[in-house]
A and B are shown apart, each in its own frame.
Chain A
Amino acid sequence: MVSASGLHDIDLTTKIGSLTLAYPTLMGSGCYGSGEEFAPFVDLAKIGAVVLKSVTRHPRLGNPTPRLVHTPAGMLNAIGLQNPGIEWYLEHDVAKFAGRPCTIVGSVAGFSVDDYAYVCELLGQRSEIAAIELNISCPNVASEGETFACDPRLTGKVVRAAREVTDKTLIVKLSPNVTDIASIAREAQSAGADALAVINTVRGMAIDVETWRPRLGNVTGGLSGPAIRPIAVLAVYEVARAVTIPIIGQGGIETTSDALEFFLAGASAVSIGTANFTDPRVPVRIVEELRAYLAQRNLRSLSSIVGRANVGFANAQQYEGDEG
């Protein structure tokens, strides 16, 4: 047994590309504003990183309302990438990220390969931003937003274009709304991704039976929360078998046990989104409880459990045969 005083000897640092995070907890893009919104409720120095809300080449007003619907064990959202555009963002927002007590990861969304390259190049020049997440999987924009993450060839193109313009750690956020997430993960890795964020929200909708209309202004939305956790755990499990770069697991994590499922499936870090809406203290609690969990098992580092439940598939032979 590691004594209670030894809890702090337990190594929770996590390497994501060239980033070293003090804690394996990221706050999901679009769920956490720019971090400062949550500062009154949680000690930002005790979280690994904040992934900022996505920025695009041009300003975007975002989707009409309603943008949110609560659903069983989760919620649907369709915000529509509301943001001031990269030019305004660089002038008015980025400097404010400098003094934050945790690592700041930028997020870039776009509608063409050129858009991604343009925004990544500009954002990549800023020292306030430690890494860039490529949001190639937003389900809530009119057309192309998610297309990139749904097609291995397009994923490769957009990641290569971003890779060419920045040396910053590149995290590629994948969509669960695909037939074979492993093939897309492999393509992202070979195009130069340093890490993968798995998964973005699951497409969904809700209908008002009184008005006979979709309940979201955007008609469709992205489902998050515990409702999607098993989908996300499987996606991490599959992706972990396909790539060697680190995976940031995300999708409905609310407790330490939830986070552990992702680590055991193959994630090196986890990202927390919707759970912060219920209790902003969740990320700090998970870190404390992870230490205790590892200590109880005489383990000194989190990395020692990553992927330990990943035993392949029950019909592995057939599965691998299908792959070939």
Chain B
Amino acid sequence: MSTTASPCGTFDATILDRRELAANVVLIGFDAPALVAVTRPGQYVMAVPPSGEVASTALGIYEAQGTRGSLLFFVVGKRTTELAGLRPGDGLSLTGPLGNGFDLSSNPRDVAIVAGGVGIASVLLPAQALLAAGARVRLFYGARNRELLVERERFEREGCEVILATDDGSAGHRGYITQALERAEPPELILACGPTPMLRAVASVAETLGVRAQLSLEETFACGVGGCWGCVVPLIGTSAQAPNFPPLERGGSDVVYARICKEGPVFWAHELRW
């Protein structure tokens, strides 16, 4: 994964536009030139809900073009309810861009992107980057039902081959999207973002197929910048992403907890011990 720190900061963004993509699924566009200019695929921001009465929340950066960025999120609690209430012209404090993002440096020619539910929010930027580099990109996109498969046409327009799955069969395969991935022609590389059970399934399919996979993990964050060690995942100590920790022969361990917010959120599936 890329370890180069990007020039991040805390920015006062202005909301430009707001769309409801489905019931309780919101896309808000914002103006934050300095933030957008340095955003890499797979990075996220910590957004401070306007009341200041609840903690900030981590959201994947959906779009980043020119001076406009956007956030796509499901309204699931107090924090996202407050953010969903933002209207054009409102201010929003954003800290970022944070995290390592996806590593596309191997210049892969055939990539499967697996997105589950709101995980779609973190995969448009890598899809665009790969397509721009001439790669074949298949989007394996799963959700509970057809209505929640938001922005699927957008990915088609961008040039992705889109394979769908829903729990209720209202669009695409009935069942899990990872079942569709398992049956498909193996890609050269897998990128995935979505709920943890889906990511575990992606890791398993990737292993079966003998394909390397990068997983963008989610966890409850507190600081989002690596200061509190609250959001961790067990990682092999030999990983390039492993935090500073003594090896087994020095009284340490061959598996260590890495911070999802700092060393991640993207990890190689085969390096996780979760």
* B222 contacts A by Cβ under 8 Å: yes
Contacts of B221 in A (CB 8 A): 68
Cβ proximity bits B216-237 to A, threshold 8 Å, 1 near / 0 not: 0001111111111111110000
* A67 contacts B by Cβ under 8 Å: yes
Contacts of A274 in B (CB 8 A): 55, 222
| Closest partner residue, chain B, to A93 (CB atom) | B244
Give the contacting residue for B245; candidates A84, A276, A277; CB below 8 A. Answer: A84
* A308 contacts B by Cβ under 8 Å: no
A93 and B244 alpha carbons, distance in the complex (Å): 9
Of the stretches B102-110, B147-155, B246-254, the one at the interface is B246-254
27 pairs, A vs B, C-beta closer than 8 Å: A31-B223, A33-B227, A37-B225, A37-B262, A38-B225, A53-B229, A59-B246, A59-B250, A61-B257, A66-B219, A66-B220, A68-B228, A77-B228, A85-B251, A87-B246, A88-B244, A88-B245, A92-B244, A274-B222, A276-B227, A277-B55, A277-B56, A277-B222, A277-B223, A277-B224, A279-B48, A280-B10
* B89 contacts A by Cβ under 8 Å: no
Cβ proximity bits B7-29 to A, threshold 8 Å, 1 near / 0 not: 11110000000000000000000
Contact: B229 with A79, CB < 8 Å? Answer: yes
How many residues of chain B have a CB within 8 Å of chain A?
38
Contact: A67 with B230, CB < 8 Å? Answer: yes
* B256 contacts A by Cβ under 8 Å: yes
Within 8 A of B (CB), among A31-80: 31-33, 37-38, 40-41, 53, 58-59, 61-62, 65-70, 73, 75, 77, 79
A79 and B220 alpha carbons, distance in the complex (Å): 13
| Closest partner residue, chain A, to B7 (CB atom) | A40
How many residues of chain A have a CB within 8 Å of chain B?
38
Q: CB within 8 Å of B: which residues of A?
A: 30-33, 37-38, 40-41, 53, 58-59, 61-62, 65-70, 73, 75, 77, 79, 82, 84-85, 87-88, 92-93, 225, 274, 276-281
Contacts of A279 in B (CB 8 A): 10, 48, 56, 93
Give the contacting residue for B232; candidates A38, A65, A75; CB below 8 A. Answer: A65
Contact: B252 with A70, CB < 8 Å? Answer: no
Contacts of A41 in B (CB 8 A): 8-10, 95, 225
Contacts of A79 in B (CB 8 A): 228-230
Known A-B contacts A41-B95, A68-B222; A62 and B227 likewise in contact (beta carbons under 8 Å): no
Contacts of B48 in A (CB 8 A): 278-279
Contact: B55 with A278, CB < 8 Å? Answer: yes
A62 and B228 alpha carbons, distance in the complex (Å): 12
Contact: B95 with A62, CB < 8 Å? Answer: no
A37 and B244 alpha carbons, distance in the complex (Å): 14
A66 and B260 alpha carbons, distance in the complex (Å): 12
Q: CB within 8 Å of A: which residues of B?
A: 5, 7-10, 48, 52-56, 93, 95, 219-233, 244-246, 250-253, 256-257, 262
Contact: A59 with B55, CB < 8 Å? Answer: no
A37 and B226 alpha carbons, distance in the complex (Å): 6
Contact: A40 with B220, CB < 8 Å? Answer: no
Known A-B contacts A41-B10, A84-B252, A88-B250; A68 and B230 likewise in contact (beta carbons under 8 Å): yes
Contact: B55 with A70, CB < 8 Å? Answer: yes
Contacts of A93 in B (CB 8 A): 244
A209 and B119 alpha carbons, distance in the complex (Å): 26
Contacts of B52 in A (CB 8 A): 278
Give the contacting residue for B95; candidates A65, A84, A92, A280; CB below 8 A. Answer: A280
CB distance from B59 to the nearest CB of A (A): 15
Contact: A88 with B220, CB < 8 Å? Answer: no
CB distance from A204 to the nearest CB of B (A): 15
Give the contacting residue for A37; candidates B7, B222, B227, B253; CB below 8 A. Answer: B227
